Homo-oligomer: A and B are copies of this chain.
């Protein structure tokens, strides 16, 4: 591990600390929290009536994730080919066409999904419904969760790269700006902006129009200057060093443009009636516009001979060629930025909802099901942001470096969902089930082949990480599930036979002298109507004698036991005393220690007082079956 790798990891760890700290302090400082994320919302507001959406509005809202990928998909495909020189550039055509064919197959398969699960069924739900062994659905959920993390990292990085293409001055700060975007997305999502808010329709619409303008401008340009221009590379040549592996690699990179296709099928309930028909209509419209954009954009990149440049995205280069760097250029760049950020934003909802569903089934920590003040799954949001930040920092916000890890997860979950649907058609049957079965069979075969292609071609580039992480995640999910089942079994009681019964309690009160705090603590102990024993731990004879005398002078408010500590430890002599009591006590009895705790007026004053009460409590609670009572004493100064 070289120095820079180390530094990156250090930074990543710090960012996560910072995010946790933000979250934690936001939870504690109510006013800051209110300012950042708004008033808390009632649970009942969750089911407040949503206006159902007209499909043409739903289209842009649900397509940010898929459609925004055109900003980096073709570019990452061409970057793979760049090593072979300009002679290889024409290969983007077969690659783009294959991608579009794949897109068509996926859309048709997903339409089958909508027919099967009109209430919205993600890959996890489909797998859960159609496979007995739980690990199959965990393959679907884990790979989707991993890919959501990558979507955030890739989209945010691509967004920042778009901006830094236009403003090279920000280029050195790409990583920190990307992190900043993630932090802002965290706040926005903790506020809980509804994913289906109409306001989200316009940027994506705007971006679609921008892309279409760009493509039409391209064709006008080519009509005027010829479809083969001086800058156009040769077509059909076989460049030296061309291998099938390389072409497949370029294809898998280009396929990163297909992620996000599952969004519509999860969101059927937000459409106006007839919901299924409208959702299907949206799928077809989105597929068509994406296909046109991918093909047109790739063609112009080829015709203009655009070459990958790490400091200037291809979209920015092409826009610059057609429009110069004027207002239209700015508009396109900023629409690209906004749409990519929206794509990341929609992933936050996707991730936290899926994590909550899986957690509710007991396969992830239950805290992922907690709704925050604004009804979003706050913990899932924080987890996603932290993981995305690690990726952004590790890869210094370079989209092309992240692409090799990307999209495998999605295609794995596509495959699981398709096979699930196949099983469903076979089981449920229904009208035209054989057609549907065939469509999903084709889908399953194709997506599994693509997944294998991804795994093989991108393996050394980073895909191995995903292939290592997935089985680990599945294993951990299974362990979590069995832990929850064990605990549930352990806690279950027979309500008729097991009922609370009082038993013997020995109450010890730790005292450190005779002063107001001790007075307060012993007053409480006496109020409990038990006979408390005061315990004093002395480090030397002198202080012990002094304490014994003081106690007498104080009128011996209760019995005092003095423990000698040769090693200046409170724990060790107390532990000895407790063992003695345990040995004498009958079964079922309780040992109860009352500890006073100083609460300073200003938080930093706590550093000036021994936190031994806190440490003792932690140790006893963890290691012994002892009840600990803390009596706070709030200092006035």
Contact = CB atoms under 8 A, between A and B. Distances in A.
Complex copy number for this chain? 2
Interface stretch (A267-275, A296-304, A321-329, A547-555): A547-555
A631 B14 CA distance: 35
Contact of A566 (B13, B43, B555): B43
Nearest to A614: B621
B505 A493 contact: no
A501 B503 CA distance: 25
Nearest to A503: B527
Interface secondary structure of A, over-half rule = mixed
Nearest to A482: B637
A519 B498 contact: yes
A505 to B, nearest CB: 5
A586 interface: no
A519 B529 CA distance: 22
A7 interface: yes
Contacts of A529: 502, 528-530
B629 A370 contact: no
Contact of A366 (B41, B499, B526, B610): B610
A491 B505 contact: no
Interface stretch (A96-104, A252-260, A509-517): A509-517
Interface stretch (A152-160, A233-241, A601-609): A601-609
B557 A500 contact: yes
A334 to B, nearest CB: 27
Contact of A567 (B367, B373, B625): B373
Contacts of A480: 608
Interface residues of A, number: 90
Contact of A516 (B492, B553, B627, B631): B492
A41 B567 contact: yes
Contact of A501 (B367, B500, B526, B592): B526
A583 interface: no
A365 B628 CA distance: 27
A525 B515 CA distance: 28
A40 interface: yes
A595 to B, nearest CB: 11
Contact of A10 (B11, B516, B525, B558): B11
A484 B608 contact: yes
Nearest to A597: B621
A505 B524 CA distance: 8
A247 to B, nearest CB: 39
Interface string A621-634: 11011111111101
Given A13-B14, A605-B483, A553 B495 contact: yes
Nearest to A521: B500
A360 to B, nearest CB: 14
29 contacts: A7-B10, A13-B14, A14-B14, A42-B566, A43-B567, A366-B610, A370-B610, A371-B568, A373-B569, A480-B608, A490-B516, A491-B515, A491-B517, A498-B516, A499-B554, A499-B555, A500-B558, A501-B526, A502-B526, A502-B527, A502-B529, A503-B523, A528-B529, A528-B530, A528-B592, A621-B630, A627-B631, A628-B630, A629-B629
Interface of A: 3, 7, 10-11, 13-14, 27, 40-44, 172, 365-367, 370-371, 373, 480, 483-484, 486-487, 490-493, 495, 498-505, 514-517, 519, 522-530, 539-540, 550, 553-555, 557-558, 566-569, 588, 590, 592, 597, 599, 605, 607-610, 615, 617, 621-622, 624-632, 634-637
Which 3 A-B pairs have CB atoms at the shortest separation, nearest pair first? A500-B522, A502-B526, A491-B515
Given A44-B566, A629-B630, 9 more contacts: A13-B14, A366-B610, A367-B610, A484-B608, A487-B635, A490-B516, A495-B514, A498-B516, A627-B631
